[in-house]
Amino acid sequence: MSPWLSLVLALLVLGNDCSAAPRPRQPTVVVFPGDLRTDLTNKQLAEEYLYRYGYTQVAELSDDKQSLSRALRVLQKRLSLPETGELDSTTLAAMRAPRCGVPDVGRFQTFEGDLKWHHQNLTYWIQNYSEDLPRNVIDDAFARAFAVWSAVTPLTFTRVYGVEADIIIQFGVREHGDGYPFDGKDGLLAHAFPPGQGIQGDAHFDDEELWSLGKGVVVPTFFGNADGAPCHFPFTFEGRNYSACTTDGRSDGQLWCSTTADYDTDRRFGFCPSERLYTEHGNSDGKPCVFPFTFEGRSYSACTTDGRSDGYRWCATTANYDQDKLYGFCPTRVDTTVTGGNSAGELCVFPFVFLGQEYSTCTRDGRTDGRLWCATTSNFDSDKKWGFCPDQGYSLFLVAAHEFGHALGLDHTSVPEALMYPMYSYTEKPPLHEDDVKGIQHLYGGPRPKPEPRPPTTTPETQPTAPPTVCATVRPSEGPTAGPTGPPSPGPTNAPTAGPTGAPTAGPTDSPTRAPTAGPSVAPTESLDPADNVCNVDIFDAIAEIGNYLHLFKDGRYWRFSEAQGRLVQGPFLIRDKWPALPSKLDSVFEEPQSKKIFFFSGRQVWVYTGATVLGPRRLDKLGFGPEVAQVTGALPRGGGKVLLFSRQNFWRFDAKSQMVDPKSASRVDRTFPGVPTNMHDVFLYRDKAYFCQDRYYWRMNLQNGINQVEEVNYVTYDLLQCPEN
Ligand SMILES: [Zn+2]
Ligand SMILES: [Zn+2]
């Protein structure tokens, strides 16, 4: 089945380059060991292609020149190529181009799917993820791909978490369970099934492709001064060109990259995902690797797959695994993981020696095909280990938009400019062509008329959907940037240079003082002022469970909510009546369950109340936070006086007794809590469940069962506080 044959190596030209006179540089061509060469003849390639995509019924065309020519004409017509009936270079190039796996002629299925969906409120589930892109970027790509279609139809697409979804999205490799195997890198990229029950309507993506946004690997950054912006490859640093993250210029071995093309001018940077920054899964809470570490008596100074049969790279997070048994998995390095060659899946090693020269980036030297490659050991000349460097990758957004077209009932078109043309091509323009719009509107009609301009009330236009299960979902918002999970957007408050100014300080106290009053004494009364109604608050400053009440803070006031008391909301109360030292704007609040101390955070300041006694304000530095932490955006008490403190996309372990964070515990939110938005503004614990808030929504996660999985996404007001939906 495999058409590939590996070639035996031979170094063709190895000049002895000690001549004195300068002479024109001869391109040195090297035959790389393990380089894949197709052994398919053009005719075999054509036969396989024609069969796979529905142009012929049998794989073997025998030697009937007539039938091959006939099939080629059909294909050429379908793909809008010159109809020669010959296997000419244009046709061969088309057959080698990356494309969708759905046949051009006939249906994908052996059993008939429906032509279209019979309901308009479709649901989708992202079942798993590719490692090539950050999860929130994948979520966003799919949401935008659905929005392409919802913009021109009455259809809506709602993300859910479970098999009841109409459209289940999956990444897989080779045979992935449906009898239509993928083919490794390039070639076939993805496929989808027409509408219907079960696998019908599902979309599958080949995870041996490099998934990107169409313009190279997407590497998110951490810390630094670019607020999580992705790396910009290539970038220049001290006049040199870098196509991957580097440790150059640092003594601590941390990988970093520039987030603009020119670091020397712009000086914007962040740290790249690496095992020296954090690990994933494992049992160490995301702690970074410790090198060297000992495993089965041997010393390791890099991540290893030893001791595992699944090929995952891991490391110990203490110096001795044999003794401590603490470990984590090493983050994928999408910027330097090679494909092909003879060490696929390993990392480029920079610098490496090739023909006696040192290379610190990928190179095209030695190749006739112009592809970038690198060595995976420090010396190619002696070790001969190499692979191809990451290329531009395929735009997950564009491929998904195409596949979702199939999932809605569309077939391929012969209009090369249309989204539903079977071949992949990258564009930055809106992907829909008139032909696509005509096709989808033939099935579903045009978009619903827009509602009348919204009256100036606070009544929400979008009501939460109420599916029969507990796992309700968020409606994608209009427009191309759907849903609350967007790409990592730089928050305005995450400035790296945390100056000496925090929030306005509330009073001159830096030592425990007596509060003059002891909290609200007046029973809340019914108020007719809409501003007093908790249900009219879109986004709360902070939410925390204090003394069995959920407290919701906003602009100097707070409400108390108890489910035990018939879902009663009390308030608003004034923050200054109960906690007079506090500013009116809070970022986050938590009560440490053992000591009943309440921690209040605002900007770079923290106050700790014990009853009516306050300590603070103190600067976050006093808790062990570095200057890069501009605010604390949430807290999850974890028992035993331990608390997880959040700041945007990172979190730390905090010891409430010593009132210090463990600076080494810095971890990424999306690694430990997959599926929650990375730019949330509040995190709190309520009735033993973790809530991550963004915009008007919360993501609820059950931390008790050991699997950190989002079990519900819903509105804070309607679903948590049981506000009427009007
Ligand atoms: Zn297709
Ligand atoms: Zn499949």
The pLDDT score that the predictor gives to residue 465 is 35
Average confidence (pLDDT) over 222-235: 88
119 annotated as belonging to a binding site for a ligand:
no
For 91, residues 6+ apart whose C-beta sits below 8 A from its C-beta are 46, 72, 75, 76, 81, 84
**Ligand with an atom nearest the CA of residue 193:** 2
Give the distance (Å) from ligand 1 centre to CA of residue 191: 6
135 SS3 class: helix
Mean pLDDT over 93-110 rounds to 80
| Residue 345 alpha carbon to ligand 1 centre in Å | 28
pLDDT at 60 (0 to 100): 55
**Is pLDDT larger for residue 712 or for residue 652?**
652
Q: Cβ distance 188 to 182 under 8 Å?
A: yes
Q: Please say whether the beta carbons of 189 and 394 come within 8 A.
A: yes
Q: Check the annotation: does 433 bind a ligand.
A: no
Nearest one of 621, 639, 638 to 630, comparing CA atoms: 621
pLDDT at 451 (0 to 100): 60
Model pLDDT, residue 114: 54
Is 538 marked within a binding site?
Answer: no
Q: Is 184 annotated as a binding residue?
A: yes
Q: What is the pLDDT of residues 662-707, one digit of tens each?
A: 878 888 887 788 778 767 889 999 988 899 988 888 888 887 766 6
The answer to whether 459 and 135 are in contact (CB under 8 A) is: no
Q: Which long-range contacts (CB under 8 A, 24 or more apart) does 301-308 make?
A: 303/275, 303/330
pLDDT at 59: 55
Question: What is the number of the ligand closest to the CA of 407?
Answer: 1
Instruction: Give the tens place of pLDDT for each residue, 560-585.
Output: 988 776 667 888 899 988 898 899 89
Does the annotation list 183 as a binding residue? yes
Q: Which ligand is nearest to the CA of 102?
A: 1
CA of 182 to the centre of ligand 2 (A): 7
Q: Is 52 exposed, middle or buried (0-12, 13-18, 19+ CB in 10 A)?
A: middle
pLDDT tens digits, one per residue of 297-338: 999 998 988 888 777 788 999 999 999 999 988 888 888 888
Q: What separation in Å is there between the alpha carbon of 181 and the centre of ligand 2?
A: 7
Task: Delineate the domains of the chain, giving CATH numbers in brackets.
Answer: 42-93 (no CATH), 121-212+394-444 (3.40.390.10), 336-391 (2.10.10.10), 534-721 (2.110.10.10)
For residues 319 and 345, the model is more confident at: 319
What predicted TM-score, i.e. pTM, was given to this entire model?
Answer: 0.59
> Model confidence at 641, in pLDDT bands (50, 70, 90)?
confident
Residue pair 156/465 in contact (Cβ under 8 Å)? The answer is: no
Cite the active site residues: 403
Comparing CA positions, the residue from 535, 654, 496 lying closest to residue 590 is: 654
361-367 — which CB contacts under 8 Å span 24+ positions? 361/234, 361/241, 361/242, 361/243, 361/244, 362/243, 362/244, 362/389, 365/28, 366/28, 366/29, 366/30, 366/32, 367/29, 367/30, 367/32
Q: How confident is the model at residue 37 (pLDDT cuts 50, 70, 90)?
A: low
176 is in an annotated binding site: yes
Between CA 77 and CA 90 the distance in angstroms is: 13
Most confidently modeled range among 194-203, 417-426, 494-503, 608-617: 417-426
Ligand 2 center to 676 CA (angstroms):
27
- Has residue 526 got a pLDDT over 60? no
| pLDDT score, position 5 | 34
**Ligand at shortest distance from the CA of 204:** 2
Q: Choose among 666, 673, 661: nearest CA to 650.
A: 666
> Can you tell me the distance from the alpha carbon of 281 to that of 671, in angstroms, rounded to the nearest whole number?
7
Residue linked to tokens 């010959």 = 86
- Residue of 173, 142, 138 whose CA lies nearest to 157: 142
Distance from the alpha carbon of residue 300 to the mean position of ligand 2, in angstroms: 39
Would you place residue 521 in the very low, low, confident or very high pLDDT band (cuts 50, 70, 90)? very low
Q: Is 166 a known ligand-binding residue?
A: yes
**Span from the CA of 403 to the centroid of ligand 1 (angstroms):** 6
